[in-house]
Structure 1
Amino acid sequence: MRIILGLLLLVLHAGQAAAGMTPVGAPKEPAEKVEPAEQAKLTDEQKLQRLLDRVVGLDQPLFDADDLAPPDCESGRQGVTRGLFIAAGKGFEIENFWLPGPDNDVELFRNTLALRGADPDKLIVVREDQATYSVVSVAARALAEATHCGDSVIVQFSGFAVDPEYIPVPDEGVGPFSNGRKLGNLDELTGDAMKHGIGDTIAAGGPFALLNFHAPGYGDVLSAAALSELVTVLRNRGADVSVILDAPSANTFLLEARQAQIDPRLYTKLDLEDQWCGPQRQRSFTACGAAVTWEPTLLSPRAGALTLFYGTQRGEAGQERKLPLTAPPRDRKIYGLFSYRLATAIAVSERTTIGALSRHISERSDMDMRRQRYRMITTDPDLDLIAEDRPERGPKEGRIVIDTPETTRTARKRTRPELRVAGHVLSRGEPISVEVNGRPAVLTPDRGFEAELVLQAGVNVVEIFAVTRQNEAITHRFELFYEGDIRAVIGEGKRYAVLIANQDYADGSGISDLQTPVGDAEALARVLSERYGFQTELELPQGGTLDLFLKNAGQRETGLLMDQLSQAIGERDSVVVFYAGHGEYKERGSAYWLPADAVANAYSTYIDAGDITRALNRMRAKNVLLISDSCYSGMLLRSTHQDAEMPGNEDRLRMLQRLADKRSRIVISSGLNEPVLDSGGDDGHSVFADALLRALREPDESAFSARELFNKVVSRVTALASQTPDFRPIHGAGHDGGDFVFLARDD
């Protein structure tokens, strides 16, 4: 297990001075020589200067980016995956405190990304004795120089990290991270007594990742402020940047807050609930991003996306384990637990979006992983970590060949649920572990393996993951189809219908009343509950029930409903959200729902499309379908138009199950950027609601996708009115390529 830093640093502070220890190859001498007898008389300024002399990287960015050549942002440029992987297990001068895991972590990540199609030559690894400040600085600049628009850049750090109170002022002739005598800590050199508040400023740049010391008597660190500055430089070159921190208290680096500080547009996109930074733990939000000894670079309008993977939360040391557990004990290697789980998720997940990776880790986490609380944050939930298209198979030197069963390009049909999987691993190193769907396989001679599976009804994805003695991570996946009770598989989980109908607006609001929303929603609730088994009430975890049908709801009431849904909906559940009421669109690209308490042209009383998107992303439900019957509803949740897969006649249920198994966030809107009719249908319904109800009451098949539902709706609406319904995935809501599947009850 990774050493708990509080105990570790108490040991360091209790140590005695190491006599005769002198720096070797030190970059500079201390500014002021002080005899040992006078140590206690050092002023705070002298202590701070000694600290700056002995700890490299404490108060400076990794490099000066002002002279970098402009990035290549030519239209049509194909982005590539680049990376900087830092393994720093020797931040202390005490060998017993060295970590064996970081070197294995970064090698596994590099091999995993190569497996997914990244060019290994574009992945910079700094490990072993090279992981010093000067080497990391050179590598970071080289990475920035090579980065251009459209690239995906991954920066990983694996090792120790410390808060400012654990950056010690060393005695003469000893290192800051040795067991020699210490004269205090960085957090003691703060406050009004210091000139210009320089101690506060340096401390606010922390916490600090401990790099490997470049010479005895010295320490090398990478501050959170310097890491954020590197992220800014890379994003300003048009790259999407992902940072992976497998270190103690990783989330206290607060990179999201530092990035938001230099780009106010991020305030509404990032979770900034944790605004702690620096030694005082109560600093203002501004201090988290601005308090450094250099002027931070501002984000440009073309800045790429930001994704953060924190392996631990505040107060957690992180864990190292001998893995994989399925390998013989003599063949296991020590990895950081979070690094290993994340690398495994990248290797085997069909998508490498933050949602897909998080779900993979959650579904396969053992008890140790659940005790270590990771955190993932992104500005773009739909963005894949890997820039390149996924290859059909791994590189020639690392791939898995399946001997049985015979695999084809489509899911092969099986008549029995029992299945034997056998194959062999082609790789540089001998395989030490093979897992089939997360369970250990039996290793056989000639690099072979065997495993027994029991298939479930529907499409079964078989994922094989192998680790070799050379730290190669190799994966292969194929599909098998076992019909069984496939309708039960498609319909698993609970189904909820959320209905929001606003037709009566307040007198004096400047917004006219409507005639049909409540009647439309009531009719839809009946057909969804009676014909398809949807529920319009939700049992809350704390007890009681929540009514999912809102009539003439205000802004606050609507927001509370969406928040409660995100907390109570299960991961296998499906949700239909229907909105009928006024909508509005501004030329600058903002679109809104108008709650019943809205006031005309008072946009603060409206419900912004961005809030709707974030609410849908927070829902754990696998499939969410939003149906919006309002003016300008096609502009609410805009994305690049994307046709969903259409089931064929031969493998209809198989295709529907495949669509239902993938996370989906779909919107069907009653029109594009245009007004829509509040009437025109039969029985007093709007023309859109009437077409929707007809399609649900009279389906061509008992199981059908939202895309098929839309096709029936659009043909009727366009024949009766001058409005054009639309169907598309919701950008930014975590759509992973699936579709919503309706399953009618048996008559």
Structure 2
Amino acid sequence: MKAYIIPLIAFLLAIGNSTMAQNLSDKSNSLHLDFSGEGLPNSHSLPTITWISPTLEYSSSVETKVHIKARISSSKIIDQIKLNIGDDQSGEVLSSKLIEIEPHQKEVNIDQSIWLPNGAVFLELEVIDHHRATVSAQRKMTIGEGALKNMISMNRKDYALIFATDRYDHWGDLVNPIDDGHAMAKILRERYGFEVEIIENAPVDQVWSVLRSYNERNFNPQDQLLIFFAGHGQYDETFGEGYVVASNSLKNDVAKTTYISHNRLRGVIDNIPSEHILLAMDVCFGGTLDPVLARSRGLQSYTVSVSDMLIRKFDKRTRKYLTSGGKEYVSDGIPGSHSPFMSKLLHSLGTLGGEDRVLTMSEIKSNMENLSQVPRFGSFGSDEKLSDFVFIAK
């Protein structure tokens, strides 16, 4: 076995630099190598597993019959594909099924329906190639309406990250962002149970550092994250891009290296491992977060029960945005009062969603329609249709 130490290190380093790195870094995927055969396989020859459905690593279904789709690809002949169904709590495999494949096959598409037990389960595809290298990939699901309702009520948390800036080194100071941020934090904590972090007057490096820390966090499948920016914004006609102005952004920064670009902001926030994210911005030109301002559709409304509505919403990946305006300057308001946008947002939050105690983005949109500067609602990144961000009153 000692003879394999140096080649194994080299092999693992090769994996880190290969196209397989993304597949192997996913916490639901794993790799196993059998050294009893012909030796170490080339890293580029390992099979790859691409889940098509379920799309999310964590998802749910009120039905026990679930449709799965996946694509298996290998440069070597595939010897075996096995589907394991297990109990996610204990890790025990409850049943296994061999997927039928043709001799000498290197590409396999899986498309079939299976029955799953109620509760928290995992689906695992395990692929063994001709060199006995085994690659596996999992999807975890909560099955059954009762199990999902329990998970929604017990195993979820709402978070808010608020960036508020009213003091600037090179721009004119503002009067309301800090007060607006604290007012929003208060109602989110007291009425909706959010865990809130407020970042005041942050320079550009601190903004990216804090966002990086959220990219490194672990979130439960039904957790929600609200990210809010209040302060100056700018739009550069030459670059065709909008920016959030940090406390140390230079007034005449032609390259915009001291600003927070909307393009980078979208990508960094989309990468945060929370399935449900709302980005809200009370800044000038905030609507230019969306490269095409006028294409966002109205959000979905529901006529089903509150419980079923929440099940549907938490089953979809959410990337929504709400900004105080489009490609325009917006009012900061007068001293001692909130900005017009924040006043309406706080009023919406204060309704607690009415009788069902659930405030949806559709309801917030309706409450803001009479503002002179019409807020923008839309989606970004990996948002899925029918998803929504909801505020559930305590």
CA distance in 2, matches of 1:529, 1:466: 44
Residues 1:500 and 2:163 are matched in the alignment: yes
**Counterpart contact for 1:702–1:744, Cα < 8 Å:** yes
Residues 1:592 and 2:296 are matched in the alignment: no
Candidates 256, 269, 272, aligned match of 1:616:
269
CA distance in 2, matches of 1:612, 1:742: 23
Cross-structure match for 1:349: 53
Greater share of residues in strand: 2
**Counterpart contact for 1:529–1:535, Cα < 8 Å:** yes
Counterparts in 2 of 1:466 and 1:513: CA distance versus 1, 3 Å: closer
CA distance in 1, matches of 2:298, 2:154: 19
The correspondence of residues 374-389 of structure 1 with structure 2, limited to 5 A, is none
The correspondence of residues 192-271 of structure 1 with structure 2, limited to 5 A, is 248-251=12-15, 253=17
How far residue 633 of structure 1 moved from its aligned partner, in angstroms, is 0.1
Helix, strand or coil at the partner of 2:319: strand
Counterparts in 2 of 1:433 and 1:550: CA distance versus 1, 3 Å: closer
**Counterpart contact for 2:225–2:278, Cα < 8 Å:** yes
Counterparts in 2 of 1:468 and 1:556: CA distance versus 1, 3 Å: closer
> Which letter maps to 2:357?
S
Candidates 697, 701, 718, aligned match of 2:350:
697
> Which letter maps to 2:202?
A
Candidates 346, 369, 374, aligned match of 1:724:
374
How far residue 252 of structure 1 moved from its aligned partner, in angstroms, is 5.8
CA distance in 1, matches of 2:46, 2:209: 38
CA distance in 2, matches of 1:7, 1:479: 41
Question: Relative contact order (alpha carbons < 8 A, sep ≥ 6): 1 or 2 greater?
Answer: 2
Counterparts in 2 of 1:310 and 1:703: CA distance versus 1, 3 Å: closer
Helix, strand or coil at the partner of 1:4: helix
Residues 1:551 and 2:264 are matched in the alignment: no
Residues 1:714 and 2:363 are matched in the alignment: no
CA distance in 2, matches of 1:720, 1:309: 45
**Counterpart contact for 1:520–1:689, Cα < 8 Å:** yes
**Counterpart contact for 2:234–2:285, Cα < 8 Å:** yes
Residues 1:453 and 2:104 are matched in the alignment: no
Deviation sequence 1:500-535 (CA, Å, 0-9, x none)? 1112223xx2x2222221221111011000001112
> Which letter maps to 1:531?
R
In the alignment, structure 2 segments of 5+ residues that lack a partner are 26-30, 36-40, 67-79, 88-92, 99-112, 130-135
CA distance in 1, matches of 2:252, 2:154: 43
Counterparts in 2 of 1:466 and 1:673: CA distance versus 1, 3 Å: same
> Which letter maps to 2:117?
L
Helix, strand or coil at the partner of 1:575: strand
Residues 1:676 and 2:327 are matched in the alignment: no
CA distance in 1, matches of 2:150, 2:391: 11
How far residue 591 of structure 1 moved from its aligned partner, in angstroms, is 1.4
In the alignment, structure 1 segments of 5+ residues that lack a partner are 9-161, 164-246, 256-306, 313-317, 323-334, 364-410, 414-418, 422-430, 537-547
**Counterpart contact for 1:579–1:630, Cα < 8 Å:** yes
CA distance in 1, matches of 2:62, 2:215: 37
How far residue 6 of structure 1 moved from its aligned partner, in angstroms, is 3.4
CA distance in 2, matches of 1:744, 1:492: 16
Candidates 525, 541, 550, aligned match of 2:185:
525
**Counterpart contact for 1:554–1:595, Cα < 8 Å:** yes
Cross-structure match for 1:653: 307
Deviation sequence 1:217-267 (CA, Å, 0-9, x none)? xxxxxxxxxxxxxxxxxxxxxxxxxxxxxx653346567xxxxxxxxxxxx
Residues 1:636 and 2:289 are matched in the alignment: yes
Candidates 149, 152, 155, aligned match of 1:489:
152
Would you say how many aligned residue pairs link Structure 1 and Structure 2?
Answer: 342
Candidates 182, 185, 194, aligned match of 1:534:
194
The correspondence of residues 359-398 of structure 1 with structure 2, limited to 5 A, is 359=57
CA distance in 1, matches of 2:142, 2:23: 33
> Which letter maps to 2:54?
E
How far residue 670 of structure 1 moved from its aligned partner, in angstroms, is 0.8
CA distance in 2, matches of 1:319, 1:515: 59
Cross-structure match for 2:101: none
How far residue 420 of structure 1 moved from its aligned partner, in angstroms, is 9.8
> Which letter maps to 1:6?
I
Greater share of residues in helix: 1
> Which letter maps to 2:304?
E
CA distance in 1, matches of 2:24, 2:150: 39
Cross-structure match for 2:109: none
> Which letter maps to 1:486?
K
How far residue 342 of structure 1 moved from its aligned partner, in angstroms, is 4.2
The correspondence of residues 138-157 of structure 1 with structure 2, limited to 5 A, is none
> Which letter maps to 1:624?
I
> Which letter maps to 2:251?
A
CA RMSD of aligned residues (A): 4.8
Helix, strand or coil at the partner of 1:592: strand
CA distance in 1, matches of 2:114, 2:200: 58
CA distance in 1, matches of 2:21, 2:81: 31
Helix, strand or coil at the partner of 2:325: coil
Counterparts in 2 of 1:341 and 1:657: CA distance versus 1, 3 Å: farther
Counterparts in 2 of 1:600 and 1:497: CA distance versus 1, 3 Å: same
Counterparts in 2 of 1:643 and 1:525: CA distance versus 1, 3 Å: same
How far residue 582 of structure 1 moved from its aligned partner, in angstroms, is 0.5
Counterparts in 2 of 1:697 and 1:450: CA distance versus 1, 3 Å: closer
